[in-house]
Amino acid sequence: MPTRAMAAVLQLLPALLLLFPSTPEATSSALLGISYGRVGNNLPPATSVPQILGSLGVGRVRLYDADPNTIRAFANTGIELAVGVPDECLATVSTPSGAASWVHTNIAPALPATKIAFLTVGNEVLTGANSSSLSRYLLPAMQCLHDALAQAGLDKQIAVTTAHNLGVLATSYPPSSAYFRKDLLPMLCPILDFHARAGSPFLVNAYPYFAYAGEPTGVELQYALLEPGHAGVADLGSGLHYTNMLVAQVDAVYHAIAAANSAAARAVEVRVSETGWPSSGDANETGASPQNAARYNGNVMQLVAQGKGTPLRPMVPLRVYMFALFNENMKPGPTSERNYGLFKPDGTPAYELSYRLPQDNTSPSSVTAGGDVYNAHGYGSENGGYYSISAASKATMVSSALLYSVLLPIVAFGFVRMVLALG
């Protein structure tokens, strides 16, 4: 082929590849996930969980450990897992050999049948009760696990991250003034460097409920509940307007990251690894009620389903794990701790949600397990729309295929004529 024609081919090839991706996406991005804790002695078997998730249209699940039976329950369902590396394992996996052994024992056997997308190393390590003894292991554990995944050829498939309590912030209001606690900066700055290099998200457990319960006279309930009609709050520092507290908390983390590590701020995405509202609490736990839990969690689902970002990052869709799937009767602490579940242990809803996700939030294979399923009312199995690719997704796939079949010959013909002319 003549040199000029070859040059034209090389210049246009990337554009052509962008116009015609090899395979249209068959499933949604599943922006919403849910945390599946198991601190209870009356919970249903893990094998029934994919059916329950189908009633919510949820395609992502966060686990807090790597229990093999639980992971196996999601095999061949298409549900994406974030698998937890428990706090007690941090010291072990902070060495190359320990991390490699952990991955070999806990992750490799589940693949490829189970879809594992993340390892979350510890939970709220830097602010937890054992922070003084565990914090020094956190970054080495993340690095060693990432290296172990790379050695196994899994680093492009499974990302490594950790979940932080919002208490890593010294201040969060207004969002533009947020910054990390100074005593945590020596640990957080290199963690941010790790996220930027590895391409993994910064996870935060964000609970407007705690802000409201701690100061019910100073925080408007409608703002904390994410009610769509609330007038919102202006951030004079940034000029941005916040209609609910959850997105304000997320943007506070973005601002804190920028203040701590401006280079990482350009690359690191913030995701919500936990958020929820209890349906019951002690007498002094203001706002813990089924009505408020239904409003909050329904509003979270609606917010995420819109696919929008935060005021500070409007082009980055908000990704959230709701907390939690079940009420867990053995969790310590106040009554609220045992009442965050969307479902009771028998698989029936803890309350009626005010909103239901569109059908395409979950992947088509996420509910292939047999048996009856639960809908939002805890009955029967008449929820077929959640158990297949949605009509919208199918229409997109068909229209995309038609578009490619029509346009590709046209573009290819024009491209060949141009090459011949140049030759």
Q: What is the CATH number of the domain that holds 137?
A: 3.20.20.80
Mean pLDDT across the stretch 55-71?
93
In a domain, 339, yes or no: yes
What distance in Å separates the CA atoms of residue 271 and residue 203, rounded to the nearest whole number?
Answer: 5
Length of the chain: 423
Active site residue 352: no
Identify whether residues 78 and 136 lie together within a single domain. Answer: yes
Identify whether residues 114 and 260 lie together within a single domain. Answer: yes
Tell me: the pLDDT tens digits for 216-244?
989 999 999 999 989 999 999 999 999 99
Phi, psi of 378 (to 5 degrees): 85, 15
Q: Are 235 and 252 in contact (CB under 8 A)?
A: no
In a domain, 184, yes or no: yes
Tell me what the pLDDT averaged over the chain comes to: 82
* pLDDT score, position 56: 82
Identify whether residues 16 and 33 lie together within a single domain. Answer: no
User: Does the pLDDT at position 338 exceed 80?
Assistant: yes
In a domain, 397, yes or no: no
Identify whether residues 33 and 18 lie together within a single domain. Answer: no
Identify whether residues 310 and 422 lie together within a single domain. Answer: no
State the total domains in the chain: 2
In a domain, 381, yes or no: yes
In a domain, 395, yes or no: no
In a domain, 383, yes or no: yes
Identify whether residues 251 and 291 lie together within a single domain. Answer: yes
Residue-number span of the structural domain to which 419 is assigned: 1-26+402-423
* pLDDT score, position 57: 82
* pLDDT score, position 203: 98
Identify whether residues 177 and 211 lie together within a single domain. Answer: yes
- CA 143, distance to chain mean position in Å, is 21
Identify whether residues 296 and 353 lie together within a single domain. Answer: yes
Tokens of 78: 């298409």
Could you give the dihedral angle defined by the CA atoms of residues 7, 9, 14 and 17, in that order, rounded to the nearest 10 degrees?
Answer: -170
Identify whether residues 132 and 19 lie together within a single domain. Answer: no
Active site residue 220: no
Mean pLDDT across the stretch 385-412?
32
317 vs 54: which has the higher pLDDT? 317
In a domain, 394, yes or no: no
Identify whether residues 357 and 411 lie together within a single domain. Answer: no
From the list 124, 285, 328, 382, the catalytic residue is 124
Identify whether residues 159 and 272 lie together within a single domain. Answer: yes
Tell me: the pLDDT tens digits for 242-290?
999 999 999 999 999 999 999 899 899 999 999 999 999 999 999 999 9
Q: Taking the complete model, does pTM exceed 0.95, yes or no?
A: no
From the list 215, 227, 274, 382, the catalytic residue is 274
Identify whether residues 12 and 75 lie together within a single domain. Answer: no
